[in-house]
Amino acid sequence: MSGEVLNSDWLAERALRSPGALALCEGDRRLGYADLDRRVSEVARALCAAGVKPGARVAVGFGGLDFAVVAHAARRCGALLLPLNTRLSEREIATQLDDAETEQVLRDPGQLAALPPSDAAPPAPPDAGEPSTLIYTSGTTGAPKGALLSPRGFFASALASALHLGALPSDRWLACLPLFHVGGLSILWRSVLSGSAVVVQERFDPEQVDAALDRDGITCLSLTANMLARLLDARRDAPAPPTLRLLLLGGGPCPAPLVARAEAAGFPVAPTYGLTEAHSQVATRPPGAPPEVGATPLPGTALRIEAGEIWVRGPTLMNGYWRRPEASAAALRGGWLHTGDLGRLDEEGRLIVLDRRSDLIVSGGENVYPAEVEAALLAHPDVAEAGVAGVDDMEWGARPAAWVVLQPGADPDTESLRSHCRERLAGYKVPVAFHRASALPRTAAGKLQRHRLGEPDPAQR
Amino acid sequence: MSGEVLNSDWLAERALRSPGALALCEGDRRLGYADLDRRVSEVARALCAAGVKPGARVAVGFGGLDFAVVAHAARRCGALLLPLNTRLSEREIATQLDDAETEQVLRDPGQLAALPPSDAAPPAPPDAGEPSTLIYTSGTTGAPKGALLSPRGFFASALASALHLGALPSDRWLACLPLFHVGGLSILWRSVLSGSAVVVQERFDPEQVDAALDRDGITCLSLTANMLARLLDARRDAPAPPTLRLLLLGGGPCPAPLVARAEAAGFPVAPTYGLTEAHSQVATRPPGAPPEVGATPLPGTALRIEAGEIWVRGPTLMNGYWRRPEASAAALRGGWLHTGDLGRLDEEGRLIVLDRRSDLIVSGGENVYPAEVEAALLAHPDVAEAGVAGVDDMEWGARPAAWVVLQPGADPDTESLRSHCRERLAGYKVPVAFHRASALPRTAAGKLQRHRLGEPDPAQR
């Protein structure tokens, strides 16, 4: 692929190449590539007329087809798209909007229709290597950081995915996971690259997914482990539809028994390891490979294991974190993305992920960073110390649980702690249990040992 | 796609990524990618030990799976592969071998087995942008010129094809057209890029193709118009097998009635315009597009029409002609490949080919250059002037016919002219008819007007 192509307005190119091909559909709404291109231009012009300058942050707090239109339009007017995780609490969203110094916040698709139309041409978009998207992701420190992603990065990822897993103009990719995550957003890019269609379902509903599989001739599907289990339940393990050629399973650990169950029903499962900081997929096991085989790194992506940590290099790495020069330098030192996740490579260089960041809790495809939950708990006046760790959950894989040391004399009820968390955190981050402890397990240096939180209380030992 | 990937040993990469996937099969012979990689290394080492130096020309005069192995091996030892058109006369082949100063000529697969094995590692292969393949193609002047093609060019072409027409690791591409032409050779590259399989049939036989379609689960197929007509005849227009997703129809004009007939049987026909000088496809109409729609240029390829002539630019252009600096500069002036073919662009920038080079005769997918046949005729002692033009042919699309002005007093019989041509030319270049003329139609400047050759003899006007 020439640099020329990577630098061009990929959506405009696609509209020229495949004007009549279906680009997006959601329920009864259907947009071909020429229509999508036209609509995106309208929105881009309106955003510019509304004062959105190149580099400005445009936050979007809704999903679905309208989100896709704004995502393309933001790129076209050179803005930085900030997809908001609609499951976050108002307080968490405010923190992101504040950190990003967001100029334009679109919370409702109605705001799109309300933008006054404009004929003014948007300025020439910046180089495709410049950031176009800002996705907040919490690091081990618990402070959410905005990963800066670029059209070139998304394009390189889409291309690598096409070469690794195949791509057809006739593909129909069902996007039933949130488009505000990189796992959903990257579907949009892959479709533009291959000229194929995205079938959007804004909320995951196993019955709706099941219905779409046959009705819409779905060929590709992205799911988290929890979604897959619910889909198989809804289908009572009925055989997979013959049109389906790829089920990309990611967003956290892919339990082997679940994969085996899906494969037994004929689902072409491709377990994948990916990160926001790498524009999604890093290594993916192709459908049909034996279960003991690791995930093959995408073409152009190099993997390295250093002291057990997975390092990634290639054309899909993020540009860095928004206004976090030190965190960026640390994450990308030496040109390698230091994932913090643990893994090993087999003899053929394939990746076996041993563990996500030791303290990371992946709950139904969402990342929960203990430090973030602990910080919320420590803001409660009765809490002196807090520790959070994942506990197994049949349905969501894992959920956070809290251990707290109370201030002397304090005696809050659990509901007070829970509602305190609910005000500050997305629902999936709120601990399922609050355990009182006399002390928390710590190293000699005082560092919290989260893996020991479930052990009997030292006062009772 | 990073430059790193384009520069790497693509076959070795593929063998690492998909060791067990089927790479090539021909009859009962089957080679997976790891096996192919091993066999290619053996042959590369043996060729090096036999004295093949980087840049040396290695001519191959056989087809099939063995050809594919040598093609990969030549790249690996940095040699220039010269695929010989096995339909050419011994004299024509000798001319090519001579022009290329060929060091190593492999006329028989048995020679491969006879090469003594070696453990010496081949030298590091040259940059992927350096030529690796030399394919002779006759220009309008009739003098065959060697087009210099590179791994990067083949790779760029394969990538553009994948993005334009789709590519799956599960694809099986039936190669029943000669691998010594760019239309066949490019299939090998596409398969390595996508990790898919090539089913090789060295000679086109409609019954064999028909049998393979179902038996081998063929998904893609390259044919010339003549081959397609024969295939449809052999199948009595039976419905196309459901696994087939692409029928790339090229190597010359794609008659609309033939395309319509194939589409009526459900064949996913994609008429393509391509050239050796552009590593195969330049513009291809995707399957299912309405017949009046032109061919979409491949991603990364730009088209321009100048005074009716098709100009091409992009990452798939040849490096030039072997030791023909002037012809190279003329063909590639200003960075555009001057095809000599006539066409126009529709409103969406799609290509409608109006005519191949006005004097070019495309006969059953093979190019016949009148000047080359005329030169052969002029070597006959009785011939004073010669003109050659195409005449319609039900089976082959067109065939060459000759008009000759004899030396005063000469009176050769037609058989003498025919056998003279047979000694010098491939069978498909030998004129089907020899017409005597008192003079040939020429411009005032004396330039032969081939399009007027069929008009009544001026002596009789």
- Closest CB to B159 among A1, A16, A194: A1
Q: What is the mean pLDDT of residues B152-165?
A: 95
List of chain B residues whose C-beta atoms are within 8 Å of the C-beta of residue A13: 299
Does a structural domain hold residue B300? Answer: no
Closest C-alpha among B186, B354, B209 to residue B278: B186
| pLDDT bracket for residue A252 (50, 70, 90) | confident
Q: What is the CATH number of the domain that holds A454?
A: 3.30.300.30
Question: What mean pLDDT value characterizes chain B?
Answer: 91
Test A169 with B166 for CB contact under 8 angstroms. Answer: yes
What are the phi and psi torsion angles at B351 (to 5°)? -95, 130
Are A67 and A178 members of one domain?
yes
Edge-to-edge strands of the sheet including B302-306? B302-306, B309-313, B337-345, B351-355
Does a structural domain hold residue B326? Answer: no
- Percent of chain B whose pLDDT exceeds 90: 72
List of chain B residues whose C-beta atoms are within 8 Å of the C-beta of residue A169: 165-166, 286
Q: What is the pLDDT of residues B33-44, one digit of tens each?
A: 999 999 999 999
Q: What is the pLDDT of residues B261-299, one digit of tens each?
A: 999 999 999 999 999 999 999 999 999 998 888 999 999
Are A106 and A54 members of one domain?
yes
Does a structural domain hold residue B378? Answer: yes
HEC secondary structure over B374-441: HHHHHCCCCEEEEEEEEEEECCCEEEEEEEEEECCCCCCCHHHHHHHHHHHCCHHHCCCCEEECCCCC
What is the Cβ-side half-sphere exposure of residue B330, based on CA atoms within 13 angstroms? 9
If you measure CA to CA, which chain A residue comes closest to B154? A1
Least confident residue range of A199-208, B116-125, B164-173: B116-125
Test A16 with B315 for CB contact under 8 angstroms. Answer: no
Are A190 and A233 members of one domain?
yes
- B42's enclosing H/E stretch is helix B33-49
Q: What is the pLDDT of residues A439-450, one digit of tens each?
A: 888 766 666 788
Rounded distance, CA B280 to CA B283, Å?
9
Rounded distance, CA B338 to CA B388, Å?
23
Q: What is the mean pLDDT of residues B439-447?
A: 75
Domain span holding position A399? 361-460
Does a structural domain hold residue B376? Answer: yes
Q: What is the mean pLDDT of residues A4-30?
A: 87
Q: What is the pLDDT of residues A43-93, one digit of tens each?
A: 999 999 999 999 999 999 999 999 999 999 999 989 999 999 988 889 889
Does a structural domain hold residue B279? Answer: yes
Q: Among B294, B316, B345, where does a domain finish?
A: B294
- Percent of chain A whose pLDDT exceeds 90: 72
Are A350 and A378 members of one domain?
no
Does a structural domain hold residue B105? Answer: yes
- Closest CB to B168 among A16, A159, A166: A166
- From A287's Cα to the closest Cα of chain B, the distance in A is 10
Residue A3 predicted with pLDDT over 60 = no
Q: What is the pLDDT of residues B170-188, one digit of tens each?
A: 999 999 999 999 999 999 9
CA gyration radius for chain B?
22
How many domains does chain B contain in total? 2
Q: What is the mean pLDDT of residues B30-56?
A: 95
Residues of A with a Cβ under 8 Å from any B Cβ are 1-2, 4-5, 13, 16-17, 19, 156, 159-160, 162-171, 193-194, 245, 286, 296, 299-300, 314-315, 348-349
Are A167 and A49 members of one domain?
yes
Q: What is the CATH number of the domain that holds A149?
A: 3.40.50.12780
- Closest CB to B299 among A5, A166, A245: A5
Strand partners of residue A149? A133
Q: What is the pLDDT of residues A273-323, one digit of tens each?
A: 999 999 999 999 999 998 888 999 999 999 999 988 999 999 999 999 999
If you measure CA to CA, which chain B residue comes closest to A163? B194
Test A167 with B167 for CB contact under 8 angstroms. Answer: yes
Residue A1 predicted with pLDDT over 50 = no
Q: Which residue has the tokens 């080919």?
A: B353
Amino acid identity at A124: A
Does a structural domain hold residue B356? Answer: no
Residue A141 predicted with pLDDT over 70 = no
Q: What is the pLDDT of residues B128-153, one digit of tens each?
A: 999 999 999 865 455 789 999 999 99
Residues of B with a Cβ under 8 Å from any A Cβ are 1-2, 4-5, 13, 16-17, 19, 156, 159-160, 162-171, 193-194, 245, 286, 296, 299-300, 314-315, 348-349
Q: What is the pLDDT of residues B217-270, one digit of tens each?
A: 999 999 998 899 999 999 999 999 999 999 999 988 788 889 999 999 999 999
Closest C-alpha among B83, B267, B88 to residue B186: B83
At B461 the pLDDT is: 47
At B172 the pLDDT is: 98
| pLDDT bracket for residue B369 (50, 70, 90) | confident
Are A179 and A53 members of one domain?
yes
Does a structural domain hold residue B321? Answer: no
Q: Among B294, B310, B339, where does a domain finish?
A: B294
- From B302's Cα to the closest Cα of chain A, the distance in A is 11
- From B199's Cα to the closest Cα of chain A, the distance in A is 19
Other CB atoms closer than 10 Å to residue B346's CB: what's the count? 12
Residue A97 near residue A80, CB atoms below 8 Å: no
At A215 the pLDDT is: 94
Residue A140 predicted with pLDDT over 50 = no
Rounded distance, CA A15 to CA A23, Å?
9
At B458 the pLDDT is: 60
At A341 the pLDDT is: 87
Are B117 and B262 members of one domain?
yes
Are A398 and A440 members of one domain?
yes
Question: What mean pLDDT value characterizes chain A?
Answer: 91
At B256 the pLDDT is: 87
At A458 the pLDDT is: 60
The better pLDDT of the pair B107, B442 is held by B107
Q: What is the mean pLDDT of residues A85-102?
A: 92
| pLDDT bracket for residue A123 (50, 70, 90) | confident
Identify the residue among A17, A161, A173, A351 best suited for mutation to test binding to B, counting B beta carbons within 10 A and taking the highest: A17
Are A345 and A374 members of one domain?
no
Test B163 with A286 for CB contact under 8 angstroms. Answer: no
Q: What is the pLDDT of residues A154-188, one digit of tens each?
A: 999 999 999 999 999 999 999 999 999 999 999 99
Are B108 and B216 members of one domain?
yes
Helix (H, G, I), strand (E, B) or coil at A13: helix
Residue B2 predicted with pLDDT over 80 = no
Identify the residue among B155, B168, B296 best suited for mutation to test binding to A, counting A beta carbons within 10 A and taking the highest: B168
Residue B66 near residue B107, CB atoms below 8 Å: no
Are A375 and A339 members of one domain?
no
| pLDDT bracket for residue A2 (50, 70, 90) | very low
Residue B444 predicted with pLDDT over 80 = no
If you measure CA to CA, which chain A residue comes closest to B191? A163
List of chain A residues whose C-beta atoms are within 8 Å of the C-beta of residue B160: 1
Work out how many CB contacts closer than 8 A connect A with B.
Answer: 81
Residue B334 predicted with pLDDT over 70 = yes
Amino acid identity at B74: A
Q: Among A317, A336, A355, where does a domain finish?
A: A355
Test A299 with B5 for CB contact under 8 angstroms. Answer: yes
Are A329 and A415 members of one domain?
no
List of chain B residues whose C-beta atoms are within 8 Å of the C-beta of residue A300: 1-2, 4-5
Q: What is the pLDDT of residues B389-408, one digit of tens each?
A: 999 888 888 999 999 999 99
